[in-house]
Amino acid sequence: MKIAHGQMEAHQLEEVMLRFMSHETNMLVCTAIIETGIDVSTANTMFIDHADEFGLAQLYQLRGRMGRSKERAFAYLVIPSTAEGLSPEARKRLDVLQRFSELGTKFQITQHDLELRGAGDMLDKGQHGHVTAVGYDLYAELLKETVEELKGRHTNKVPDPDINLPVAAYIPDKYISDMHERLSAYQKLATARDAKDVYDIINTLGDVHGDPPTKITALADVMVLKIHLREMAARSLNLGLMPDAPPLGTPESLTGPPPQIIINLKNHPRLDVERMAHMAAEDPQHLRLTPQQKLIYTPTKNKWRKINSDIMALCRVVLRRILDEAGTKKTT
Q: Within a domain: residue 7?
A: no
- Are both 320 and 180 inside the same structural domain? yes
Can you give the pLDDT at residue 139?
65
Q: Within a domain: residue 22?
A: no
Q: Which amino acid is residue 133, in one-letter code?
A: A
Tens-digit pLDDT profile for residues 289-311: 887 788 888 888 787 777 766 78
Give the pLDDT band (50/70/90) at residue 224: very high
Task: Give the H or E element holding residue 190.
Answer: helix 179-190
Portion of the chain with pLDDT greater than 90, in percent: 9
The answer to whether 32 and 58 are in contact (CB under 8 A) is yes
- Are both 84 and 215 inside the same structural domain? no
Distance set, CA 249 to CA 100, 282, 305, 306 (Å)? 43, 31, 12, 14
What is the maximum span of the chain, computed from C-alpha positions, in angstroms? Answer: 91
Distance set, CA 283 to CA 266, 294, 295, 319 (Å)? 22, 16, 12, 16
Give the pLDDT band (50/70/90) at residue 332: very low
- Are both 172 and 309 inside the same structural domain? yes
State the average pLDDT for the chain: 78
Q: Which domain holds residue 45?
A: 31-108
Tens-digit pLDDT profile for residues 142-185: 677 778 777 776 655 666 788 888 888 899 989 998 888 888 88
Rounded to an integer, the average pLDDT of 110-134 is 54
Higher pLDDT, 255 or 102: 255
User: Hey, CA dihedral for 49, 51, 54, 60, is it positive or negative?
Assistant: positive
Can you give the pLDDT at residue 160?
79
Which segment, 90-99, 119-128, 166-175, 276-285, is predicted with the most confidence on average?
166-175
Give the pLDDT band (50/70/90) at residue 135: low
Give the pLDDT band (50/70/90) at residue 317: confident
Q: Which CATH number fits the domain that encloses residue 256?
A: 3.90.1150.50
Give the pLDDT band (50/70/90) at residue 106: low
- Are both 80 and 197 inside the same structural domain? no
The answer to whether 321 and 303 are in contact (CB under 8 A) is no
**Res. 243: pLDDT tops 50:** yes
Tens-digit pLDDT profile for residues 225-234: 999 888 888 8
The answer to whether 48 and 77 are in contact (CB under 8 A) is yes
How many CB atoms lie under 10 A from the CB of residue 61?
16
**Res. 60: pLDDT tops 90:** no
Tens-digit pLDDT profile for residues 8-19: 898 898 898 888
Q: Within a domain: residue 17?
A: no
**Res. 330: pLDDT tops 60:** no
CA distance 68 to 42: 8
pTM: 0.53
Domain boundary among 155, 182, 210: 155
Tens-digit pLDDT profile for residues 272-290: 777 877 888 888 888 888 8
Can you give the pLDDT at residue 314?
84
CA distance 246 to 129: 46
CB within 8 A of 201, min separation 6: which ones?
Answer: 185, 188, 189, 192, 220
Can you give the pLDDT at residue 223?
92
Q: Which CATH number fits the domain that encloses residue 104?
A: 3.40.50.300
- Are both 190 and 229 inside the same structural domain? yes
- Are both 94 and 228 inside the same structural domain? no
CA distance 317 to 261: 11
Number of domains making up the chain? 3
**Res. 191: pLDDT tops 60:** yes
The answer to whether 232 and 210 are in contact (CB under 8 A) is no
- Are both 314 and 172 inside the same structural domain? yes
